[in-house]
Amino acid sequence: MGENVSVAILAADDAPAMQSAVPAVLHSVCGRRILDYVVNAAGQVAGSRPVVVVHGDGGCIREHLGESCRIVDSAEGKDSVSGLFRMEECTGEEPCGVLFVLAGNMPLIRGTTLEGMLQFTSENHLTAAVLSGESPESGGNGISPVYCFDRRALRKAVREGQKSMEQETLGPEDILRILKASGERTGVFRIRDTREIMTVSDRVCLSRAEAEMRRRINEFHMMRGVTILDPSATYIGADVRIGKDTVVYPGNVLEGFTVVGSGCLLYPNNRLQNAEIADGTILQSSVVLDSRIGSGTTVGPYAYIRPGSRIGDHVRIGDFVEVKNSSIGQKTKVSHLTYIGDADLGQEINVGCGVVCVNYDGKEKHRTVIGDHAFVGCNANLVAPVEVEGHTFIAAGSTITEKVPAGALAIARARQVNKKGWVEKREQKKTEEKE
């Protein structure tokens, strides 16, 4: 990073080419906006906030970036450097130093590549450099969308170009041509991986960038001790973290700011979004959204952990269990076919099959509280707001509407009545009606 290094990112609106209402630079690759990848790479060399050049309103780009970048409107053309280089506005008041110009739709560009390009330019005393990368995958017409300019020479070239050229706007390639013609030292910085300068201009390019970024991310985790059994069938977002000795089976989708601990086992077909999974936990074919799961816990198959849930250590969440905005204490078992919504469960509770926390009265949500070591029988309904204290038993099939005190057995169901001969009488009546 250098104090006299600035970065300008050209973020033209390519939404029409994408057949989308969203600008190309705001489409996502592995869960992160394309423009964010470029901004992050720029941050590794820039001494100040990058400048993002938009054309026209650019409102959604402004809204997305907030204060992380300076926004400049290039009124003279989508890729206009003459519009870009209102120099004091875009690159600071100091006339000396270096300016990078990047396209905003290059999600695969690396900050280390920009650092290498900066070093190359300095060591060879160049006033301008361009990345090489003409290849079938580089996008465009073989002209790289990455340039490095000496700002003094650039300022002079812009003035000369505007005077001598009939066109009103100048692109980076025009500036480079003017510098060469005037005898300035220019060069080409060659990179091994030409995929870095792939530009995303349509959905086909987007899918290629997605595939390459996914490969990078999966290899990153594997090199740090994570086993991914089939990388081609595993989706891991750019901001996900995974601990050592975790095993990831095919079909897993890890998104957002998910954190998975060490020694976890992710069987096939889980989806985790902004989830926190502690060490040694096992998940199978389940969904976990904006929730935390403790260590040594097992979840699934087919469990649905909805936002705001906090599940403790050594808990069992079984098949077809839904948990929403609830806390569940250590060693509690919720084995199958149960809904835990807006509830606080203590430790070492056994929740039977088919239990429902009835949390909604038609207008508002209410909470259910269950104390430590309680036993909730199958098909019980706990109508909130209600409290079940510790060391209690709820009889199967009960509908609980009042507090259950500690140590009590709660039975809330009608007494069974058997009417002998009822079926025979019913059939006889049907026969008589037909006659």
Q: Which residues are catalytic?
A: 336
Tokens at residue 265, please?
């086992």
CA gap 317, 291 in Å, rounded: 14
Looking at the DSSP assignment, which residues form a beta bridge with residue 235?
253
Sequence-distant (6+) residues with CB within 8 A of 317 are 286, 297, 298, 299, 300, 303, 305, 311, 323, 328, 334
How far apart, in Å, do the first and last CA atoms of the chain sit?
97
Nearest to 99 by CA among 83, 78, 84: 84
Give the CA distances from residue 74 to residues 82, 94, 104, 168, 260, in Å, rounded to whole numbers and listed in that order.
8, 21, 14, 13, 43
SS3 content of the chain, % helix, strand, coil (to 5): 25, 25, 50
Looking at the DSSP assignment, which residues form a beta bridge with residue 334?
317, 351
Looking at the DSSP assignment, which residues form a beta bridge with residue 410?
394
Q: Are 34 and 4 in contact (CB under 8 A)?
A: no
- Per the listing, tokens 């809204």 go with 63
Q: What is the DSSP letter of 50?
A: P
